Structure formats: structure tokens, C-alpha cells
Amino acid sequence: MIPTIPDQKPVYRIYLISAVIVVLDQITKWMVKSWMYLYESIPLIGDSVRLTFVENPGMAFGVRFFHDHAFLGRWFFTIVSFGASIALIWYIHKMRYERGPYRAALGLILGGAVGNLIDRFLYGRVVDFMDVDIPDMLGMQRWPVFNVADSAVVCGMVIITFMILFTKPAAPHEKKKTNGSGDIPVVQTGREGSE
């Protein structure tokens, strides 16, 4: 049987999704910083959805560590985010033949990670502005202010979780094998015996 060389485009599509998220994230943050002053809040849909300009020195949704420390307050999350982005790129390469939604989810997560990494590296703080009211629970009256990058990461994680819980694994005849070189996956169709 002649080995089937897989299409390499899905890898670039993953990075295209990431790039779109990074661009949208940075443009919206620039708009907020240019047109609003810190802590200003503008109602969009009554009090339920507002634009609120805050700067977050910690993780997504206001989680903070070392925020009072001069060095760690800025560089701890920058280093962690950089390491996570490198790990994601490695994982994307490893999972490049997975199903489309899974690959798209990885692109969303990488884009979100890089979007916030840019803020942390350049400014030491992440710009957040999406302010949404939620039913009072867990002691919160409003959801912590977030941004496009945070949304992309959450959406990517939701998609991956859904696929893990509710989609069936690939059938045995769809599993990829190598042709001996270890590089080129060969799709086993189950019809080799008829050739």
C-alpha cells in the first residue's frame, strides 16, 4: 500500500485561529485604553453588561499571586504564561491530526494565552474590560472583569471538555500508523487485503 501523506494545512489553520484571537484581543484592549480612563464603566445593556476598564496584575478573572512584590508581581505570570504557550505549541504539533473542533479549540487557547502574555510582558498588567452581571452565587455579584483572550481560553476549554466527554474515539481502522520512518502517518483503511 502507498503511504498517505497527510495534509499539513490543519497546523496552519490552528495558528491562524490563534493569530485572529491575538489581533482581536490587542485591538480591543488598545481601544479601551485609548477611549476610557482606568476604572471607568460604560453601560451597554443596562447594568447587565458593561465596559469597565481595569488592569489585572494576576491571572484570568482577577486571580492574584505576588501582586505586591516588585519583581514577582510582574514577571511570575509572564514566565508562567510564556512556558504555557511553548507547551501549547508543542501539544498542537503533537495533536495536529485530531478532529477539527479539537484543533480549533487548541488555537483558541493558544491565542488567548499569547494575547495576555503580550500585556504581561509589555506592561506587567493585563487589560480587562468585559463586565457581566451574573446570578448571585459563590459570594459574587458580578463575574470578574475579563477580555477577549480570557474568553478564547474558556471557549477552547469548553470545546475540549465537551469532546472528551461526549464524542467517541476514532474507530480502529482510522488510527494512524507510521510507514517505518516514524514521520509519515499511514491511514489504515481496512482494505489492504483486497489489493
Q: What is the DSSP string of 114-159?
A: HHHHHHHHHHSSEEEEEEEEEEEETTEEEPPPB-HHHHHHHHHHHH
Q: Which of 25, 119, 128, 131 is catalytic?
A: 128
Whether the pLDDT of residue 185 is over 60: the answer is no
The bridge status of strand 140-142 relative to strand 176-178 is unpaired
What's the distance, Cα to Cα, between the start and end of the chain in Å? 8
Read off the amino acid at residue 137. Answer: M
Mark whether 183 is an active-site residue: no
Catalytically annotated residue among 25, 119, 131, 150: 150
Examine the residue annotation and report whether 131 is marked as an active-site residue of this protein: no
The DSSP secondary-structure symbol of 193 reads G
- Grid cell digits, residue 65: 499571586
Q: What is the pLDDT of residue 183?
A: 52
The pLDDT tens digits for 67-125 are: 565 566 667 778 888 999 999 999 998 888 888 899 999 999 999 999 999 998 998 88
Residue 18 contacts residue 110 (beta carbons within 8 Å): yes
